[in-house]
Amino acid sequence: QVQLVESGGGLVQAGGSLRLSCAASGRTFSSSAMGWFRQATGKEREFVTSISWNPSRTDYLYYADSVEGRFTISRDNTKNTVYLQKKSRMTEETTVYYCAAGPGIGDYNSDAQYEHWGQGTQVTVSS
């Protein structure tokens, strides 16, 4: 069983930045596609960004249009960890961010493409 553990959530000032981490264990991390999703209270979970592979096996980054340039995904294969750098908006709902993992190449913007999920980490924006 693959284990994914998110961390880095908490309280952030409006307009401020934070970095979320997702540590993976149980399989070789470098061969996996990794994604981030978010879910605000009372809303459906939605895709934020993913990092997978080009056919050449170089990194392929994909972002949802809705994130409006406020997120950056990266990963450190030596640590089996993927990161999400986030800049909050001036007003933003409390949101839980989920890390997910799956194999393959491409955009990986669908829940069905991921096989494993973390428990989530909550981000609350103060104003």
The tens digit of pLDDT for each residue in 70-118 reads: 999 999 988 989 999 999 988 889 999 999 999 878 889 999 999 999 9
Is the pLDDT at 1 greater than 80, yes or no?
Answer: no
Q: What are the residue ranges of helices labelled H in the chain? A: none
Write the secondary structure of 62-94 as one string of H (helix), E (strand) and C (coil): EECHHHCCCEEEEEECCCCEEEEEEECCCCCCC
- The reported pLDDT for the residue numbered 31 is 65
Is the pLDDT at 27 greater than 70, yes or no?
Answer: no
- The reported pLDDT for the residue numbered 28 is 62
How many CA atoms lie less than 13 Å away from 10 in the CB half-sphere?
Answer: 9
Are 84 and 73 in contact by the 8 Å Cβ rule? The answer is yes
- Over the stretch 9-26, which tens digit does the pLDDT of each residue have? 999 999 999 999 999 987
Give the whole-angstrom CA distance, residue 114 versus residue 111.
6
- The reported pLDDT for the residue numbered 46 is 96
- Over the stretch 39-82, which tens digit does the pLDDT of each residue have? 999 999 999 999 998 888 888 999 999 897 999 999 998 898 99
